[in-house]
Structure 1
């Protein structure tokens, strides 16, 4: 894919650039060395495109978990496919995430977007929308450094509350309920799409996990007991965009067709992790498609407005790629 022009500077990140490492794309930042593997685009919404209007779905409960449900306009008079949509840290109350779900519903999917975080979305990383001082004083630099450390700490604490041991049981309970409620849509299998934080869990649901991992009793990377049975894959096919917290083993374990949208030189989904994971998929003969987008920030595929039209264009391309993959399977 050809390189794109640099994105326009995102005002919410201007004041952070002296305290964080720049990614090379204005408006984007890398996490500091040793900081949590989530960045600003994982925890903050972009401005919502005005033309998209108001979300059309509703929030209800399935197995004591809040879920945003959105359906095709003509459902149930015409058939639909059941799609599990897993968000980044902004969660199900984000207008952008709800509108993203609505877009898939408009293409014939009955979309289930569960609250993976039990009403505890990621803390926003922005602390200021004021323009950055071109020559900050020493005091200002210290304040920025302190703010960055505090943000990294709050994200680390949040991530410690939302591990696979906590998230996987939530997803399994929701899936059990919605497959019963929408048995017609689930009859051909469950499809899944995941952005940022949610991408890892699409990979895990597309893998054969040991039963204790699926039930939240053990971390996926820890040693399994001898003879521990495995649970079958929970989805038919999946698509992910610019994942975070993904290990090569997460990709290597996938056993269902998987589409991967990645960002070039993304510190939150490093090239070596993606390449080693994809190599394992190739060796195991798992159907997959990988596209690496250049000149876009991490989080670009999540619905939201950018001043740079080239990023908006790539956002549309990523959506069409993921939609096409799901429809073709």
Structure 2
């Protein structure tokens, strides 16, 4: 069977199983009304999405977003989707109300200037504060970290011996360095797309080699015809992109079910 036909058959079978309800909690939400709540914690607006029937959990997920941040509907629905699998999900505003909007992108926002307003030291501070809140006030014992695009750099930064994250998943990370990969100690799952120039197949292979050399538990998937941002904002009318978002969501949840 040709590769494309094999892919489409696998996609159709997978989609049919989801439609039939075989994996009801593993269906990522792409539309609808978010169910989480915003709370101000030490001056940081944090989106809380709760597991079914509870507002606490010994295991929780720290959601480190892309540049569109907590206001983005897809980010809130993604947090809610993870929470429906029995995890408390905590998603902090990394940009103090200055997340990038589509309107700013269309107007030609200078991302270099924007990034300078949100240096790594400040993002690290917000994540550290959020982790401390999760441990002390929410009573979380194990923390998983999901990082998308911009956030994909920061999950590895805290998946170290003393960073505070116990297991991680990243999708199409941007600006992730080999040094940051080398410092990873906890289990890490990675999702890459063949059309993503920020974290291409070569970078993925290099990251795998580093993790393997360091004897770190890892897993990675490469999604065909998936561009940067596919795990958050794909073009749902393109089957390969819709599949990549759904499959990478399952990849993340099943990773935490095994290693968190």
TM-score by length of 2: 0.83
Contact 1:58 1:68 in 2 (8 A): yes
Contact 1:80 1:108 in 2 (8 A): no
1:235-254 pair list within 5 angstroms: 235-254=165-184
Report how far residue 253 of structure 1 moved.
Answer: 1.4
Contact 2:195 2:225 in 1 (8 A): no
Contact 1:191 1:236 in 2 (8 A): yes
**Residue in structure 2 matched with residue 193 of structure 1 by the alignment:** 146
Residue 118 (str. 1) matches residue 96 (str. 2):
yes
Residue 263 (str. 1) matches residue 207 (str. 2):
no
* Distance verdict in 2 for CA 1:265–1:310, change over 3 Å: closer
1:74-223 pair list within 5 angstroms: 74-76=53-55, 79=57, 81-124=59-102, 126-127=105-106, 150-151=108-109, 154-183=110-139, 186-187=140-141, 189-208=142-161
Report how far residue 270 of structure 1 moved.
Answer: 3.5
Q: Which runs of 5+ in 1 are unaligned?
A: 6-47, 128-146, 209-231
> SS of the counterpart of 2:89?
strand
Higher-Rg structure is 1
Count of matched residue pairs: 234
**Residue in structure 2 matched with residue 302 of structure 1 by the alignment:** 232
Report how far residue 180 of structure 1 moved.
Answer: 1.6
Report how far residue 272 of structure 1 moved.
Answer: 3.4
Residue 67 (str. 1) matches residue 20 (str. 2):
no
> If each structure's helix is expressed as a fraction of its own residues, which one has the higher value?
2
- For the aligned residue pairs, the C-alpha RMSD in angstroms reads 2.1
